[in-house]
Protein backbone atom coordinates (compact mmCIF):
# COMPACT_ATOMS: atom_id res chain seq x y z
CA UNK A 1 0.00 0.00 0.00
CA UNK A 2 1.09 3.55 -0.74
CA UNK A 3 0.15 4.66 2.81
CA UNK A 4 0.77 2.20 5.67
CA UNK A 5 -2.39 0.46 6.85
CA UNK A 6 -2.07 1.99 10.32
CA UNK A 7 -1.99 5.51 8.87
CA UNK A 8 -4.90 4.87 6.48
CA UNK A 9 -6.94 3.51 9.40
CA UNK A 10 -6.11 6.49 11.67
CA UNK A 11 -7.12 9.02 8.99
CA UNK A 12 -10.33 7.16 8.11
CA UNK A 13 -11.28 6.88 11.80
CA UNK A 14 -10.57 10.60 12.33
CA UNK A 15 -12.70 11.65 9.34
CA UNK A 16 -15.62 9.41 10.36
CA UNK A 17 -15.43 10.51 14.01
CA UNK A 18 -15.49 14.20 13.12
CA UNK A 19 -18.30 13.78 10.60
CA UNK A 20 -20.39 11.92 13.17
CA UNK A 21 -19.76 14.77 15.63
CA UNK A 22 -20.88 17.26 12.97
CA UNK A 23 -17.59 19.19 13.08
CA UNK A 24 -17.22 21.27 9.93
CA UNK A 25 -13.56 22.15 10.42
CA UNK A 26 -11.01 19.98 12.16
CA UNK A 27 -7.24 19.46 11.96
CA UNK A 28 -5.66 16.77 9.79
CA UNK A 29 -1.93 17.55 10.01
CA UNK A 30 -0.44 19.66 12.80
CA UNK A 31 2.56 21.57 11.45
CA UNK A 32 4.82 21.87 14.49
CA UNK A 33 7.80 24.21 14.08
CA UNK A 34 9.74 24.00 17.36
CA UNK A 35 12.27 26.52 16.00
CA UNK A 36 13.05 28.43 12.81
CA UNK A 37 16.84 28.25 13.01
CA UNK A 38 18.56 26.10 10.41
CA UNK A 39 22.05 24.92 9.53
CA UNK A 40 21.42 25.97 5.90
CA UNK A 41 20.07 29.02 4.07
CA UNK A 42 18.34 27.63 0.97
CA UNK A 43 17.32 30.02 -1.83
CA UNK A 44 13.59 29.21 -1.69
CA UNK A 45 13.15 29.10 2.09
CA UNK A 46 10.47 31.47 3.34
CA UNK A 47 10.74 30.48 7.00
CA UNK A 48 14.28 31.59 7.77
CA UNK A 49 13.54 34.93 6.11
CA UNK A 50 10.06 35.60 7.52
CA UNK A 51 11.18 34.76 11.04
CA UNK A 52 14.69 36.24 10.95
CA UNK A 53 13.93 38.57 13.90
CA UNK A 54 13.00 35.60 16.11
CA UNK A 55 15.28 32.97 14.57
CA UNK A 56 16.89 32.19 17.96
CA UNK A 57 13.57 31.50 19.69
CA UNK A 58 12.45 27.94 20.45
CA UNK A 59 9.36 26.30 21.85
CA UNK A 60 10.03 24.29 24.98
CA UNK A 61 9.43 20.53 24.85
CA UNK A 62 6.40 21.05 27.11
CA UNK A 63 4.99 23.70 24.75
CA UNK A 64 5.49 21.38 21.77
CA UNK A 65 3.76 18.42 23.40
CA UNK A 66 1.06 20.73 24.79
CA UNK A 67 0.36 21.89 21.22
CA UNK A 68 0.15 18.25 20.09
CA UNK A 69 -2.34 17.55 22.89
CA UNK A 70 -4.48 20.61 22.15
CA UNK A 71 -4.91 19.84 18.45
CA UNK A 72 -6.23 16.33 17.76
CA UNK A 73 -4.83 15.76 14.26
CA UNK A 74 -3.91 12.16 13.42
CA UNK A 75 -0.66 13.39 11.80
CA UNK A 76 2.02 15.70 13.19
CA UNK A 77 4.63 17.13 10.86
CA UNK A 78 7.68 18.35 12.78
CA UNK A 79 9.37 20.93 10.57
CA UNK A 80 10.97 24.35 10.99
CA UNK A 81 13.76 25.45 10.54
CA UNK A 82 15.76 22.29 10.90
CA UNK A 83 14.25 20.08 13.62
CA UNK A 84 17.42 18.04 14.09
CA UNK A 85 19.11 21.08 15.67
CA UNK A 86 16.26 21.40 18.20
CA UNK A 87 17.90 20.39 21.53
CA UNK A 88 14.98 18.17 22.64
CA UNK A 89 14.34 16.51 19.29
CA UNK A 90 14.69 12.96 20.65
CA UNK A 91 12.24 13.66 23.49
CA UNK A 92 9.86 15.36 21.05
CA UNK A 93 9.90 12.46 18.56
CA UNK A 94 9.36 9.89 21.30
CA UNK A 95 6.69 12.00 22.99
CA UNK A 96 4.64 12.25 19.78
CA UNK A 97 5.07 8.57 18.83
CA UNK A 98 4.16 7.52 22.41
CA UNK A 99 0.88 9.41 21.92
CA UNK A 100 0.22 7.23 18.83
CA UNK A 101 0.20 10.20 16.50
CA UNK A 102 1.74 9.70 13.06
CA UNK A 103 4.90 11.76 13.02
CA UNK A 104 6.63 13.04 9.88
CA UNK A 105 10.04 14.47 10.73
CA UNK A 106 10.92 16.92 7.92
CA UNK A 107 14.68 17.33 7.72
CA UNK A 108 17.53 18.30 5.44
CA UNK A 109 19.20 15.10 6.78
CA UNK A 110 22.43 16.78 7.92
CA UNK A 111 23.42 14.79 11.00
CA UNK A 112 20.49 12.40 10.61
CA UNK A 113 22.60 9.24 10.88
CA UNK A 114 23.79 10.03 14.41
CA UNK A 115 20.16 10.33 15.59
CA UNK A 116 18.92 7.07 14.08
CA UNK A 117 19.84 4.87 17.08
CA UNK A 118 17.81 7.23 19.32
CA UNK A 119 14.68 7.30 17.15
CA UNK A 120 11.87 4.74 17.45
CA UNK A 121 11.31 2.19 14.69
CA UNK A 122 7.56 2.52 14.76
CA UNK A 123 4.70 2.45 12.26
CA UNK A 124 3.94 5.93 13.65
CA UNK A 125 7.29 7.40 12.58
CA UNK A 126 8.37 8.57 9.11
CA UNK A 127 11.47 10.54 8.11
CA UNK A 128 10.84 13.08 5.35
CA UNK A 129 14.01 14.34 3.60
CA UNK A 130 13.94 17.35 1.28
CA UNK A 131 15.75 16.74 -2.03
CA UNK A 132 15.70 19.55 -4.58
CA UNK A 133 17.31 17.94 -7.63
CA UNK A 134 20.27 15.87 -8.68
CA UNK A 135 23.72 16.51 -7.25
CA UNK A 136 24.65 19.85 -8.77
CA UNK A 137 21.21 21.47 -8.41
CA UNK A 138 20.71 20.19 -4.87
CA UNK A 139 24.10 21.43 -3.72
CA UNK A 140 23.63 24.85 -5.38
CA UNK A 141 20.10 25.28 -3.95
CA UNK A 142 21.35 24.31 -0.50
CA UNK A 143 24.46 26.45 -0.82
CA UNK A 144 26.84 23.69 0.23
CA UNK A 145 28.87 21.31 -1.90
CA UNK A 146 28.65 17.62 -1.04
CA UNK A 147 25.19 17.75 0.56
CA UNK A 148 23.52 15.60 -2.09
CA UNK A 149 25.81 12.68 -1.30
CA UNK A 150 25.44 13.24 2.45
CA UNK A 151 21.63 13.23 2.15
CA UNK A 152 21.51 10.21 -0.15
CA UNK A 153 23.77 8.25 2.20
CA UNK A 154 21.59 9.21 5.19
CA UNK A 155 18.48 8.03 3.31
CA UNK A 156 20.10 4.68 2.47
CA UNK A 157 21.32 4.22 6.04
CA UNK A 158 17.88 4.99 7.49
CA UNK A 159 16.26 2.55 5.05
CA UNK A 160 18.84 -0.14 5.85
CA UNK A 161 18.01 0.29 9.56
CA UNK A 162 14.30 -0.25 8.93
CA UNK A 163 12.92 3.32 9.03
CA UNK A 164 10.14 4.53 6.75
CA UNK A 165 11.66 7.29 4.61
CA UNK A 166 10.00 9.58 2.10
CA UNK A 167 11.31 12.64 0.26
CA UNK A 168 9.86 15.96 -0.81
CA UNK A 169 10.99 17.97 -3.79
CA UNK A 170 10.05 21.56 -4.64
CA UNK A 171 9.61 22.56 -8.28
CA UNK A 172 10.66 26.11 -9.22
CA UNK A 173 10.56 28.12 -12.45
CA UNK A 174 14.04 26.92 -13.41
CA UNK A 175 13.46 23.27 -12.51
CA UNK A 176 14.23 20.87 -15.35
CA UNK A 177 11.61 18.10 -15.22
CA UNK A 178 13.98 15.68 -16.97
CA UNK A 179 16.26 16.15 -13.96
CA UNK A 180 13.34 15.47 -11.60
CA UNK A 181 12.77 12.21 -13.48
CA UNK A 182 16.45 11.35 -12.90
CA UNK A 183 16.06 12.19 -9.21
CA UNK A 184 12.99 9.94 -8.94
CA UNK A 185 15.01 7.08 -10.46
CA UNK A 186 17.88 7.64 -8.03
CA UNK A 187 15.57 7.85 -4.99
CA UNK A 188 13.68 4.75 -6.11
CA UNK A 189 17.01 2.90 -6.31
CA UNK A 190 17.81 4.15 -2.79
CA UNK A 191 14.63 2.42 -1.59
CA UNK A 192 12.52 5.39 -0.47
CA UNK A 193 8.93 4.63 0.50
CA UNK A 194 7.52 7.60 -1.37
CA UNK A 195 8.23 10.92 -3.07
CA UNK A 196 6.26 14.15 -2.88
CA UNK A 197 6.80 16.57 -5.78
CA UNK A 198 5.14 19.97 -5.39
CA UNK A 199 5.47 23.55 -6.61
CA UNK A 200 6.98 26.12 -4.27
CA UNK A 201 4.95 28.92 -2.73
CA UNK A 202 5.89 32.51 -3.61
CA UNK A 203 6.65 33.70 -0.07
CA UNK A 204 6.48 37.48 0.29
CA UNK A 205 9.79 37.35 2.17
CA UNK A 206 11.56 36.07 -0.98
CA UNK A 207 11.97 38.77 -3.59
CA UNK A 208 13.66 36.70 -6.30
CA UNK A 209 11.42 35.63 -9.17
CA UNK A 210 11.97 31.89 -8.75
CA UNK A 211 8.36 30.71 -8.28
CA UNK A 212 5.94 29.42 -10.90
CA UNK A 213 2.59 30.99 -11.70
CA UNK A 214 -0.45 28.76 -12.35
CA UNK A 215 0.19 28.25 -16.05
CA UNK A 216 3.84 27.47 -15.33
CA UNK A 217 2.76 24.87 -12.76
CA UNK A 218 0.33 23.26 -15.24
CA UNK A 219 3.06 23.06 -17.88
CA UNK A 220 5.64 21.50 -15.53
CA UNK A 221 3.27 18.99 -13.95
CA UNK A 222 1.79 17.82 -17.27
CA UNK A 223 5.26 16.38 -17.79
CA UNK A 224 4.63 14.06 -14.83
CA UNK A 225 1.69 12.33 -16.55
CA UNK A 226 2.14 8.57 -16.27
CA UNK A 227 5.02 8.82 -13.78
CA UNK A 228 2.77 7.61 -10.95
CA UNK A 229 2.93 4.15 -12.48
CA UNK A 230 6.73 4.21 -12.46
CA UNK A 231 7.46 5.97 -9.19
CA UNK A 232 5.96 5.81 -5.72
CA UNK A 233 4.50 9.31 -5.57
CA UNK A 234 2.94 10.53 -2.36
CA UNK A 235 0.97 13.12 -4.36
CA UNK A 236 -2.52 11.71 -4.65
CA UNK A 237 -3.80 11.30 -8.24
CA UNK A 238 -6.47 13.94 -7.53
CA UNK A 239 -3.81 16.45 -6.45
CA UNK A 240 -1.90 15.67 -9.65
CA UNK A 241 -5.09 16.41 -11.66
CA UNK A 242 -5.23 19.79 -9.89
CA UNK A 243 -1.55 20.46 -10.64
CA UNK A 244 -2.15 19.70 -14.32
CA UNK A 245 -5.05 22.18 -14.39
CA UNK A 246 -7.66 19.48 -15.01
CA UNK A 247 -9.85 20.30 -12.03
CA UNK A 248 -10.36 22.78 -9.22
CA UNK A 249 -10.21 22.18 -5.48
CA UNK A 250 -11.02 24.73 -2.80
CA UNK A 251 -8.40 25.19 -0.10
CA UNK A 252 -8.60 23.60 3.36
CA UNK A 253 -6.40 26.06 5.29
CA UNK A 254 -7.56 24.74 8.68
CA UNK A 255 -6.46 21.21 7.73
CA UNK A 256 -2.81 22.03 8.51
CA UNK A 257 -2.76 24.34 11.55
CA UNK A 258 0.73 25.65 12.25
CA UNK A 259 2.33 26.40 15.59
CA UNK A 260 5.76 27.89 16.21
CA UNK A 261 7.62 29.93 18.85
CA UNK A 262 5.40 32.96 18.12
CA UNK A 263 2.13 31.04 18.56
CA UNK A 264 -0.56 29.58 16.28
CA UNK A 265 0.06 31.03 12.84
CA UNK A 266 -2.97 32.20 10.90
CA UNK A 267 -4.56 31.89 8.49
CA UNK A 268 -2.45 29.06 7.08
CA UNK A 269 0.92 27.36 6.85
CA UNK A 270 1.99 29.73 4.08
CA UNK A 271 0.65 33.19 4.85
CA UNK A 272 0.78 35.03 8.15
CA UNK A 273 -1.64 37.69 9.30
CA UNK A 274 -1.12 37.12 13.00
CA UNK A 275 -0.22 34.57 15.66
CA UNK A 276 -2.83 33.40 18.16
CA UNK A 277 -2.32 32.26 21.75
CA UNK A 278 -4.12 28.95 21.26
CA UNK A 279 -5.48 26.55 18.66
CA UNK A 280 -9.03 27.45 19.77
CA UNK A 281 -8.36 31.17 19.14
CA UNK A 282 -6.96 30.44 15.66
CA UNK A 283 -10.05 28.41 14.79
CA UNK A 284 -12.53 30.91 16.25
CA UNK A 285 -11.02 34.15 14.92
CA UNK A 286 -10.06 33.33 11.31
CA UNK A 287 -12.33 34.16 8.36
CA UNK A 288 -12.07 30.61 6.99
CA UNK A 289 -14.56 30.98 4.15
CA UNK A 290 -12.51 33.69 2.48
CA UNK A 291 -9.41 31.49 2.47
CA UNK A 292 -11.27 28.30 1.56
CA UNK A 293 -12.47 30.07 -1.59
CA UNK A 294 -8.92 31.33 -2.32
CA UNK A 295 -10.20 34.92 -2.40
CA UNK A 296 -7.11 36.49 -0.84
CA UNK A 297 -4.65 37.83 -3.49
CA UNK A 298 -1.86 35.85 -1.78
CA UNK A 299 -3.71 32.63 -2.70
CA UNK A 300 -3.63 33.38 -6.44
CA UNK A 301 -0.79 31.05 -7.39
CA UNK A 302 -0.89 28.73 -4.39
CA UNK A 303 -1.10 25.09 -5.48
CA UNK A 304 0.70 23.66 -2.48
CA UNK A 305 -0.04 20.17 -1.20
CA UNK A 306 -0.95 21.57 2.25
CA UNK A 307 -3.77 23.52 0.57
CA UNK A 308 -5.14 20.73 -1.62
CA UNK A 309 -4.42 17.31 -0.08
CA UNK A 310 -6.61 17.99 2.99
CA UNK A 311 -9.43 18.95 0.58
CA UNK A 312 -8.85 15.70 -1.32
CA UNK A 313 -8.98 13.77 1.99
CA UNK A 314 -12.29 15.26 3.08
CA UNK A 315 -14.01 15.28 -0.33
CA UNK A 316 -13.03 11.88 -1.72
CA UNK A 317 -16.00 10.08 -0.16
CA UNK A 318 -18.41 12.34 -2.09
CA UNK A 319 -17.67 10.86 -5.52
CA UNK A 320 -17.58 7.18 -6.46
CA UNK A 321 -15.12 7.88 -9.29
CA UNK A 322 -12.73 9.75 -6.95
CA UNK A 323 -13.05 7.07 -4.25
CA UNK A 324 -12.13 4.34 -6.76
CA UNK A 325 -9.19 6.34 -8.15
CA UNK A 326 -7.85 6.88 -4.62
CA UNK A 327 -8.39 3.27 -3.58
CA UNK A 328 -6.60 1.92 -6.64
CA UNK A 329 -3.74 4.36 -6.12
CA UNK A 330 -3.32 3.47 -2.44
CA UNK A 331 -3.32 -0.24 -3.20
CA UNK A 332 -0.53 -0.01 -5.78
By the criterion CB under 6 A, which residues form the site for ligand SF4?
Answer: 38, 40-42, 45, 47-48, 80-82, 108, 130, 251, 253, 267-268, 270-271, 291, 294, 296, 298-299, 302, 304, 306-307
Q: How far apart are CA 255 and CA 288, in angstroms?
A: 11
114: exposed, middle or buried (C-beta count within 10 Å: 0-12, 13-18, 19+)?
Answer: exposed
**Nearer to ligand SF4 (CB atom), residue 49 or residue 244:** 49
**Count of beta carbons in the 10 Å neighbourhood of residue 227:** 18
- Sheet with 29-32, strands from edge to edge, namely 194-199, 164-171, 125-130, 102-107, 75-78, 29-32, 258-260, 263-267, 272-276
* Whole-Å CA distances, 197 to 168, 217, 221, 267, 324: 6, 12, 9, 24, 23
User: Closest separation between CB of residue 182 and ligand SF4, Å?
Assistant: 21
User: Closest separation between CB of residue 255 and ligand SF4, Å?
Assistant: 9
User: Closest separation between CB of residue 105 and ligand SF4, Å?
Assistant: 12
Q: How far apart are CA 180 and CA 178, in angstroms?
A: 5
User: Closest separation between CB of residue 124 and ligand SF4, Å?
Assistant: 23
Strand spans (E) along 116-268: 125-130, 164-171, 194-199, 258-260, 263-267
**Nearer to ligand SF4 (CB atom), residue 82 or residue 139:** 82
**Nearer to ligand SF4 (CB atom), residue 45 or residue 192:** 45
User: Closest separation between CB of residue 85 and ligand SF4, Å?
Assistant: 9
User: Closest separation between CB of residue 1 and ligand SF4, Å?
Assistant: 27
**Nearer to ligand SF4 (CB atom), residue 93 or residue 304:** 304
The size of the chain, in residues, is 332
Q: Beta partners for 29?
A: 75
**Nearer to ligand SF4 (CB atom), residue 17 or residue 52:** 52
Amino acid sequence: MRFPIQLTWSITKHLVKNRLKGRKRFPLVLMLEPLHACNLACDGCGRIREYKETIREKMTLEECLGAVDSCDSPIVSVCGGEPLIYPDIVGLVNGIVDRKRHLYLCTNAIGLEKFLPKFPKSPYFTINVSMDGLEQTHDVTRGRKGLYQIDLTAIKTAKAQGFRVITNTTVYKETDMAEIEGLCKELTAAGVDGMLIAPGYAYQAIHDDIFLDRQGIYDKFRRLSGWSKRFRFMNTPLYLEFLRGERHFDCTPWGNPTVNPKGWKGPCYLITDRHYNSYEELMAQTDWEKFERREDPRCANCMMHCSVEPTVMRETGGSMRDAMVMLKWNLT
